[in-house]
Every structure is written in C-alpha cells, then in structure tokens.
Structure 1
Amino acid sequence: MSELFADRQAQRSTLHNRYLNEQFVRVLKTIGYDVGFQKGQGQYLYDRDGARYLDLLSGFGVFAIGRNHPVMRDALKSVLDADLPNLVQFDVSVLAGVLAERLLKYVPYLDKAFFANSGAECVEAAIKFARGATGRPGIVYCAHGYHGLTYGALSLTGDSNFRTGFEPLLPGCTSIPFNDLAALEKALASREVAAFVVEPIQGKGVNMPTDEFLPGAAALCKKYGTLFVADEIQTGMGRTGRFLAVEHWNVEPDMVLLSKSLSGGHVPVGAVLTRKAIFDKIFNQMDRAVVHGSTFSKNDLAMAAGIATLDVMESEKLIESAAKRGAELRLALTRMVPGYELMKEVRGKGLMIGVEFGPPKSLRLRASWNVLETANKGLFCQLITVPLFKDHKILTQVAGHGSHTIKLLPPLTITEEDCSWIEKAFDDVIAGSHKVPGAIWSLGKTLVDNAVRRSA
C-alpha cells in the first residue's frame, strides 16, 4: 500500500475529480490547501516538499493521541497477526468486553456499553434506545448543535446548510435555544419527550454552557421522566481536560455517546454508554437479543483501537496534559484580545478552544469587514486560517458555516513549544488583519470575488 500511495500520490486530485468529490478539490485549490500531505506523525503533518505543519484540526478530533502512534500501530498489527475469530456473530467478542469494561470504569454511574461504527450511528442508537425505553416519541435538541448527518442525527442538527434539500426529517424532534432552561422545561412539560440530546460544549462555534444549564437540564429531565443524553463524541475522551466534559458541571447523564478519538484515528468506532434499566428495556428477552446492532460494530480492529487509545491516554497522562496545555493556550490567546479590535473572545475547556472575531470600531476596518460580510457571512475567519496555513504552517478550521469563530482542536500530545508556535502565529496573522490595505485584505478581495462568481 505504501508503494501504491507513492506511485499514485501525484494523481490524487485527478482521481478525486474523476471518481469522488470534485467540489472539495476546487475548495482546496481555491484556498491554497492542496499541498499534498505525505506523512503524519503525532501532532505534525508533512507535505510533498517535506514542510512540517502543526495540526490543530486533528481529523475533526479523531487524532487525540496523535497520528500513527506506535502503541496504536502495534495493537492493530497484533490483531492482524493473531488470526483471531473476528465477527463470528454467533459468539461474543473478548475485546469488546474488555473495552466496555475499561470505558465504564471512567463513567461508574453507567452500566452497559453498545458499540457502533461512528458517532452518527451512536446518535441513531440513542434515539432508538430512548424511544424504546420510555415509550415516548419526542426528542429535544439545541439550536446550533451538531449530531451527525444520517437521517436521525441530521434531525437533531440545527444547521440549515446540512438540512436543506434533505427534509422532511424525523418527526417529533424539537429544537430549543442552547442555555435556555425555560424553553427546555416548556418542551418537556408535555411528558412526551423521550430524550434531551445535547453537546456539553457545542462543536459548531465552541459555544459554552452557563454554569446552570447542564445541571438544570439534568434536573428537568429527571422531573419529567426524560432521558438526558450527553453527546460527547467530540468533547469526550479527555478533550476538555476531563474524561467527559459533563464532569466540569458534575452532571451524570443517562446515556453518553463517544466516538472520534476513541478510534485512535485508524478504525472507526463509537460507543453508547447507558444505564442498565434502559438497556434492559431494549434487549428485554432472548428473541430481542439482536433487535439493534451493526455488522461491523464490534470488530476486533475497532475494539483494539479503542483499548490502545485508552492505554496511551493513561500512560502519557493526556487528560491532565489537555487541561494544562489548554489553560496555558487560552490564557496566551486571551491576552491578545485587548490589543486587537477584531478579536472578541477566547473560550473553551482543555484543548477545545474557540477564538471569536467580530466587527471592528475603526471606520477603515469596519468598511472592509462589511464588504466581506455582505459577500459571505463569516468570510473574515478565512482571512485568518489561510495565512495561518500558508505562512505559519498551522492547520485549523472555522467553527461552522457563517461562523466568526476559529476552532482549535489539536491532538492532546501538543507541547509547550507547539503552544508558543500557535501564539506567535496568531499574533502575527491577527496583527496583519488590522492593516488596511494589506496582504490579508487582498486575500479577502480574492475570496469575495470567488463568492460572487459562485452566486452568479
């Protein structure tokens, strides 16, 4: 495979244009990201010329332990070398039992684990489990939340960019504003709601809960007989400096959804952790033993990836490292806010950080800002992410469609030197964004022209 990669890598764009998503290739070329990455190691990526990049995207959060960790590689190789009786189906998996045991030790108030192939599959399972366990049809979710793109998960995703063209979606799903306990109580008061599904910290925007919201929501769910489901697919597994983000607010959900970094970045896997009372209502007799499942969900490679990920997190103390490095990085970035009028706020927990920008006060900057906003809301953040990538070799992302927030989601293995790299790069690029005219605003004109051509 390595020889095949080397032999065909120069054709990657041609292959994707012909057989896959040519629009995505156009995006990469437009913003200058088509550098042809050749290698990944830890928190770093290397392009076709050997240049090193710091990865603050980490595959949308899957590479918490970094790329190609030797423990992960050894675990996966050992499975392939062992001739294990994988996916017998009329047998139970030893490795699935071990991974379930390991995960539930971190969440001792829950009792059972159900494995799936992805985060979206976990959301689908949670919807079914909640409806099956309560006998109720309703699901409540938060506006601006993101839970996946399969039909059930998409029905709980509040972004119209993802929903448009695919409706009608799942009936019985109701949106409330994030951080609005009054709206939640109104929705739950009918006693027809099976579950409230919420990201403890919203991934699209890195939107933080108030200190009252999650504990209050848990209390309301208990009051009205609704299950509290914490979607920790991005926030879990140590990302926020705790194993689960809900731990920051002392909340104990009825179900917890995990995926992304549980995979180690190699073999897709997801887990639904739940109370025994819920599990037993779904799998309640022998002829219902396979009422919900998935062909590949407990495959040995996926289970080994999950076990190896936990091994690395524990041996390298990555949860503690995420808390420490995240606090240092947020403080360094927050100190920049008073010096830059375009910079509004830095927020997050651990190594899930949002840097928000907003309208400036000075007339010249405001005029340039307004041109961008008129062409395409949220376009300004591209004026930060593109030079971060091209000039400072940092890969990051805008935190959602039309968002003014850049999200930092690095591997939990980043070092003090990496944090200094991030701080200096952001300082340089943000300083450049305050110079009108300047190179960054010339880029802005190019992006505006492209946006106008796309809408023509």
Structure 2
Amino acid sequence: MTDLLDETELDSYRDRFAAHLSQTVPGRKEFVVGSASGCTLTDAGGRDYLDMTSGIAVANVGHSHPEVVAAIQRQAARYTHVNVYGRFVVPEQVEIVERITGVTGPGMDVAYLTSSGAESTECALKLARKYTGRPKFVAMERAYHGRTLGALSVSWREEWRKPFEPLLPEVVFVPFDDLEAAAAAIDERTAAVIVEPIQGEGGIRVPSDDYLPGLRRLTREKGALLIVDEVQGGMGRSGRWFAHQNWDVEPDIITMAKAVGGGLPLGAVISTPEIFATFIDPPLSHLTTMGGNPLSCAAGIAAFDVMVRENLVEASATKGEYLRGRLGELRAEFPEAMVDIRGKGLWCAFEVAGDANVVARAMQERGVLVGSVLNSSGTVRVTPPLVVTEAEIDRFVEVLRTVLADGIGVAS
C-alpha cells in the first residue's frame, strides 16, 4: 500500500482490524501504518514519526534497508520455503549460522534456528532438561522470556502466569542482581539458570559487574547450565554483539531472535556440539516447520553484513553514550520528572516519576515513538535503530524536553 488514505479509509482499517484480529490490549489502535525507512515510520495518512523503538529492538539496521530488501527479493525469486529441518541442506541457513556463531565466542558453534524469541526459549528449556536430566529452573524477578507455556513458566509476572497454571513445575524466582539469593536457589536438581544479561521488560536494568560472572561460577559448582536470553540484547543492541559479552561470560546456551532476521521472523538457540547432541537421542527430539525459513535467513544475512560493514556494533556503543549524555542534561533540568537513566549501547531507558505510558503518548502526539516496558510502570524504553544519527537523537531529546516542560511525567 503506497497511496495515502483519507479519514474514511483509515477508520475502515481500524474497524476491520478490531473486528477480525484477536486483541489482547483494549482500545482503538492509534494509527494505520503506511511505510517505514531508516529511523522513520510514516502512517497511512502521511505523517512521519521518528521511531526510537525499532519495533521493540528489531530494526537494528533501520527499516527497509535497501540491501535487506534486495536480499529478500532475490531469495523470493529462488524459493521462499522448503523442508527446513531434517532432510535438506539449505544454504541460507548455513550462511546465517556461520555469521552468528562467528561472534558468539569459543565453543558455541551449533545453532538451532527458530522463528521467535519465545520459540527459542522453549527450545533452550527442553535442551537444558534433556542434557542435564534435571527438572528445575531458576529464573529472575522482573524477567520476561515469552508467553508460550514453557517460556511463561520462567517469566516473572504472576498475573500473566496464574490463569494458565499449572505451568512447568519447579521454577524458582529470585531477585535479579542478587548472588546470595541465586546461590540459595541453585541446587543439584537445577537444570539451568535462565537470565537476561540486562533485563529488558524489567526496565533495561543493568546488573553489577560481578553478577553474571557470579552466576557462571554458581552454575558450574552445581552442574547446572547457564542460559542467557539475548532476544532483546543481541545483535549489537548493548554495544557488543551480545549483552553478556560486556562481562566476558561464557554461557552454555544463548537464545536470540528479534533483530537476527533483519525485520523478518528469525531466532536461534546457540550452544556447544556436546549439548546439542542430546537432541539426537532419540532422533527428532525437537522440530520446527518454519524456523530458519530461507527468506528470513536471507534477510538476516544481509542485515548482519550491513552491521559489520557499517560498524554498527561500535556505533551502538558510542551513540548510546551520546544518547545517555543528552538524557542526563534533561534529568538535571527536570529532576522532579526524570528520576533515573539506565542502559548500555542503544539499549536505553529513563525512569519517570509518573506513568511511562502517558509520556509515550505525549511524545507520539509530537511525532516521536518511544515505548514502555511490561514489568516496570515508570520506565520509558528508548531503542532506536543502530543507524540513528546524532541529529535524530537531538530531535528526540528536544521533543522529550517539551513533554517534560509541560509537566508530563511528574507523579500525580
């Protein structure tokens, strides 16, 4: 759809959307999407928005990057889907996995391709249970790992877990960034500890420098595995290829998705040949129909190569420092509204004294998209494409200044 729509057509799409697409959030949708390019999202009425969300940390190379678009077009002309698991070699799968495992660290040489973060979590939980023969998982308070039954079992918020119980048994939640609590919970029945190196939906919370190394030590002492969830933090978001690399930790299993596919559905679980060998006995211990779809892999290859050539991982680190510096200026100017700034790279958040959703709506009205998070009501999420410019960051900051100057963000 390229032509602009009038108000009648826009209302028609909103009404038909509400009538035919199952909703889990009440209310009428804000606008109808028209197109997106770089850091700009344009609605179907022709209004431009500066996108500081990247579709929740997905469009790391920007929306509709020309090389990603060209790769999708070439692949679509060849084939879009074949049997992706068990019978054939799909060259696009080989190419993307070689790229990913080339930046994960020593020994992490094998990948299982998926379509989403929740699917990656499910695979990782099964893999840990089967490899260790143990039933228990230790997860973190404020954690979010997905909404399918296994992933939901290790996601913290009780109001979303309770209606679907019984979930996986023997899941223990401990406070994030608390090694003493983790040590008390990890025992000889623990298959794995699952942790986000930086909590995403928990509020972009960065742990103490000894936390992840401490979890690594504790899991090794008890013979448990360490699963790091890099669904949001992977692919350069934190200023390193993966967030756990900020602390030089070597996990047993890495889960990822979101930005891996360059805007198309693609995820992966990365581990060692030894751990993945457990899925061979019995054969077909885990399966997928669409994971590693050739079209998604082609998009992922192109996006990865753009990241390397344009040094976007390094850019994430330097631009993230610039972004947090500019936010620091606003915090000094509006201390009653902005109470904290957190993050690494272009994985950033600021805490307001009031409701983050009110701030996000006010910024959208002024042409800038930011987001809230699921498990921290005052947190505003800022995760722009890694191609964002300093000028675009400045524009975001000036719009935020007008919002805070209007008294939005102050506790009511």
User: Could you tell me how far 1:172 is from its partner in structure 2?
Assistant: 1.6
- Counterpart in 1 of 2:27? 26
Distance in 1 between the 2:210 and 2:28 partners?
Answer: 41
> CA 1:214 to 1:4, structure 2 compared with 1: closer, same or farther past 3 Å?
same
Query: What is the identity, as a one-letter code, of the residue corresponding to 2:316?
Result: A
SS in 1 for 2:44: coil
> CA 1:331 to 1:3, structure 2 compared with 1: closer, same or farther past 3 Å?
closer
Question: What is the correspondence of 1:79-98 to structure 2 with a 5 Å cutoff?
Answer: 79-83=75-79, 86-87=82-83, 89-98=86-95
Whether the 8 Å contact between 1:197 and 1:228 is mirrored in structure 2 is: yes
- Counterpart in 2 of 1:350? 345
Q: Whose Rg is larger?
A: 1
Distance in 2 between the 1:298 and 1:23 partners?
Answer: 28
Distance in 2 between the 1:191 and 1:401 partners?
Answer: 30
- Counterpart in 1 of 2:381? 407
- Counterpart in 1 of 2:58? 62
**Aligned pair count?**
407
1:42 aligns with 2:41: no
User: Could you tell me how far 1:130 is from its partner in structure 2?
Assistant: 0.3
Whether the 8 Å contact between 1:140 and 1:187 is mirrored in structure 2 is: yes
Distance in 2 between the 1:351 and 1:282 partners?
Answer: 36
Question: What is the correspondence of 1:263-412 to structure 2 with a 5 Å cutoff?
Answer: 263-265=261-263, 267-284=264-281, 288-340=282-334, 341-358=336-353, 380-391=355-366, 393-401=367-375, 403-412=377-386
Question: What is the correspondence of 1:225-264 to structure 2 with a 5 Å cutoff?
Answer: 225-264=223-262
1:180 aligns with 2:178: yes
CA deviation digits over 1:24-69, x for unaligned, max 9? 46153xxxxx232311111101123422111112111111111111
Distance in 2 between the 1:23 and 1:99 partners?
Answer: 33
> CA 1:84 to 1:263, structure 2 compared with 1: closer, same or farther past 3 Å?
closer
Whether the 8 Å contact between 1:228 and 1:253 is mirrored in structure 2 is: yes
Instruction: Give the one of 374, 382, 397 matched to 1:423.
Output: 397
Distance in 2 between the 1:253 and 1:390 partners?
Answer: 42
SS in 2 for 1:158: coil
User: Could you tell me how far 1:11 is from its partner in structure 2?
Assistant: 2.1
Whether the 8 Å contact between 2:231 and 2:258 is mirrored in structure 1 is: yes
SS in 2 for 1:73: helix
CA deviation digits over 1:223-268, x for unaligned, max 9? 1111111100000100011001111111111111110001111x21
> CA 1:409 to 1:282, structure 2 compared with 1: closer, same or farther past 3 Å?
same
Distance in 1 between the 2:5 and 2:101 partners?
Answer: 39
- Counterpart in 2 of 1:208? 206
User: Could you tell me how far 1:342 is from its partner in structure 2?
Assistant: 2.1
SS in 1 for 2:339: strand
- Counterpart in 2 of 1:169? 167
CA deviation digits over 1:286-325, x for unaligned, max 9? xx34221101112211211221110111122111111111
1:73 aligns with 2:69: yes
Distance in 1 between the 2:394 and 2:242 partners?
Answer: 27
1:138 aligns with 2:132: no
Query: What is the identity, as a one-letter code, of the residue corresponding to 1:342?
Result: A
> CA 1:159 to 1:300, structure 2 compared with 1: closer, same or farther past 3 Å?
same
> CA 1:99 to 1:327, structure 2 compared with 1: closer, same or farther past 3 Å?
same
- Counterpart in 2 of 1:17? 18
- Counterpart in 2 of 1:369? none
> CA 1:384 to 1:274, structure 2 compared with 1: closer, same or farther past 3 Å?
same
User: Could you tell me how far 1:4 is from its partner in structure 2?
Assistant: 13
User: Could you tell me how far 1:183 is from its partner in structure 2?
Assistant: 1.1
User: Could you tell me how far 1:160 is from its partner in structure 2?
Assistant: 2.6
CA deviation digits over 1:343-362, x for unaligned, max 9? 1111100111110123xxxx
TM-score, normalization by structure 2 = 0.93
Distance in 2 between the 1:195 and 1:310 partners?
Answer: 30
Distance in 2 between the 1:332 and 1:38 partners?
Answer: 31
Query: What is the identity, as a one-letter code, of the residue corresponding to 1:17?
Result: A
Distance in 2 between the 1:385 and 1:9 partners?
Answer: 22
Where relative contact order (Cα < 8 A, 6+ residues apart) is larger, the structure is: 2
User: Could you tell me how far 1:85 is from its partner in structure 2?
Assistant: 7.5
Query: What is the identity, as a one-letter code, of the residue corresponding to 2:152?
Result: L
Distance in 2 between the 1:403 and 1:27 partners?
Answer: 21
Q: Which moved more, 1:296-305 or 1:83-92?
A: 83-92
Whether the 8 Å contact between 1:161 and 1:401 is mirrored in structure 2 is: no
Distance in 1 between the 2:100 and 2:24 partners?
Answer: 39
SS in 1 for 2:355: helix
- Counterpart in 2 of 1:367? none
In structure 1, list runs of 5 or more residues that go unmatched: 29-33, 359-378, 435-439, 446-456
User: Could you tell me how far 1:145 is from its partner in structure 2?
Assistant: 0.5
Distance in 1 between the 2:105 and 2:327 partners?
Answer: 36
User: Could you tell me how far 1:91 is from its partner in structure 2?
Assistant: 1.6
Whether the 8 Å contact between 1:356 and 1:405 is mirrored in structure 2 is: yes
CA deviation digits over 1:384-411, x for unaligned, max 9? 21221112x1111112255111010111
Whether the 8 Å contact between 1:191 and 1:225 is mirrored in structure 2 is: yes
Distance in 2 between the 1:22 and 1:279 partners?
Answer: 37
Distance in 2 between the 1:23 and 1:125 partners?
Answer: 25
Whether the 8 Å contact between 1:119 and 1:233 is mirrored in structure 2 is: yes
Query: What is the identity, as a one-letter code, of the residue corresponding to 1:162?
Result: W
**CA-atom RMSD in angstroms:** 2.3
Distance in 1 between the 2:385 and 2:341 partners?
Answer: 19
CA deviation digits over 1:411-439, x for unaligned, max 9? 111001101111111122112117xxxxx
- Counterpart in 2 of 1:370? none
Query: What is the identity, as a one-letter code, of the residue corresponding to 1:193?
Result: T
